[in-house]
């Protein structure tokens, strides 16, 4: 075999393999990988990194074996272009940006039958408060919100605290918005935004995508899903206290 010339094809393939290996390594090292996949999937990505490194070592042996064809094949662009974009662009969550594309659901877990209280009524803060405030945290968000959605009447009057980003739909009344979180079951491809319809009687209008911490009293409201046309009673959080907060380092909820 000729050893005096490089195998260009093998060199390009080796560079691609090294590039993807470095990308995965960097995502794992910095923790940015959690912007794209569920923590339970990290082990599979680690396995993929090992496989890529082994493939690169095998390809390394072919670099000085003359291949006879020095042209760079166009199909390599399928790998090179996304690799360069991934290495250059900043890694960030899709939490707030996905709401504009996929919307925010109030009934993905299930629309409940509960106390009717039309959404254009005037709300006040004179409601019964339960002894213990319900705090929606990352570790109990799905379980607790599911319980609330299925039992609106049971939680009517309960005091709730939660964090999330503001999202408004065109058909909502003045003062109404959704405090939403992004649920990541596997990866960003199946990300879903789920939230709690809220009402805040204040002159200040906060911008969409603003992260807030809210404390309020649960009521109920008629709601129609603009995508499916489905109507039902959903919880309505009448906000008593609202505080603007920075976006969490990792804003996703992992069920």
pLDDT in tens, 67-103: 666 666 788 899 999 999 999 988 888 877 777 767 7
**Cβ count within 10 A of residue 195:** 23
Cβ–Cβ < 8 Å for 222, 197: no
Q: Provide the pLDDT for residue 20.
A: 96
Q: Provide the pLDDT for residue 241.
A: 93
Q: Would you give the DSSP letter of residue 34?
A: G
**Cβ count within 10 A of residue 56:** 18
Which residues, in sequence order, are CB contacts of 31 under 8 Å at separation 6+? Answer: 250
The span from the CA of 103 to the CA of 101, in Å, is 6
Of 131, 143, 193, 127, nearest in space to 164 by CA:
193
pTM score of the predicted model? 0.76
The span from the CA of 145 to the CA of 46, in Å, is 33
Q: Map tokens 């969550």 to a residue.
A: 93
Question: Which H helix or E strand runs over 150?
Answer: helix 141-150
Which residues, in sequence order, are CB contacts of 217 under 8 Å at separation 6+? Answer: 125, 127, 129, 157, 158, 159, 160, 237, 238, 240
CA distances from 75 to 79, 80, 118, 164 (A): 8, 9, 58, 43
User: Are β-strands 134-135 and 159-167 bridged in parallel, bridged antiparallel, or unpaired?
Assistant: parallel
Q: pLDDT tens digits, the chain, 255 residues: what are they? A: 445 577 888 889 999 999 999 999 999 999 999 999 999 999 999 999 999 999 999 999 888 776 666 666 788 899 999 999 999 988 888 877 777 767 777 764 433 333 334 334 433 333 333 457 899 988 888 888 888 888 888 888 899 999 999 998 887 888 899 999 999 989 888 888 888 999 998 757 888 889 999 999 999 888 877 666 777 788 999 999 999 999 988 899 998
Q: Which fold has domain 97-253?
A: OB fold (Dihydrolipoamide Acetyltransferase, E2P) (2.40.50)
Burial class (CB in 10 A: 0-12, 13-18, 19+), 203: exposed
Which residues is 105 bridged to in the sheet? 194
Sign of the CA dihedral with 26 first, then 27, 29, and 32 last: positive
């Amino acid at each position: 075999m000729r050893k005096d010339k490089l195998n260009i094809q093998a060199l390009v393939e080796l560079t691609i393999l090294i590039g993807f290996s470095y990308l995965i390594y960097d995502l794992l090292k910095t923790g940015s990988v959690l912007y794209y996949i569920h923590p339970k999937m990290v082990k599979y990505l680690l396995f993929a990194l090992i496989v890529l490194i082994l493939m690169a070592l095998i390809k390394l042996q072919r670099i000085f074996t003359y291949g006879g064809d020095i042209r760079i094949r166009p199909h390599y662009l399928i790998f090179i272009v996304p690799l360069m974009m991934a290495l250059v662009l900043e890694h960030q969550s899709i939490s707030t940006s996905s709401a504009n594309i996929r919307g925010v659901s109030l009934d993905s877990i299930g629309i409940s039958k509960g106390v009717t209280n039309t959404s254009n009524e005037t709300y006040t803060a004179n409601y019964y408060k339960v002894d213990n405030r319900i705090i929606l945290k990352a570790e109990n968000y799905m379980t607790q919100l599911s319980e609330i959605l299925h039992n609106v009447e049971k939680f009517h009057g309960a005091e709730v605290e939660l964090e999330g980003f503001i999202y408004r739909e065109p058909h909502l009344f003045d003062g109404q918005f959704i405090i939403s979180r992004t649920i990541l079951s596997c990866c960003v491809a199946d990300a879903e935004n789920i939230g709690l319809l809220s009402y805040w009687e204040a002159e200040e209008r906060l911008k969409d995508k603003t992260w807030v911490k809210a404390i309020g009293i649960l009521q109920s409201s008629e709601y129609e899903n603009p995508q499916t046309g489905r109507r039902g009673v959903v919880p309505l959080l009448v906000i008593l206290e609202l505080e603007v907060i920075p976006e969490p380092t990792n804003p996703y909820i992992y069920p």
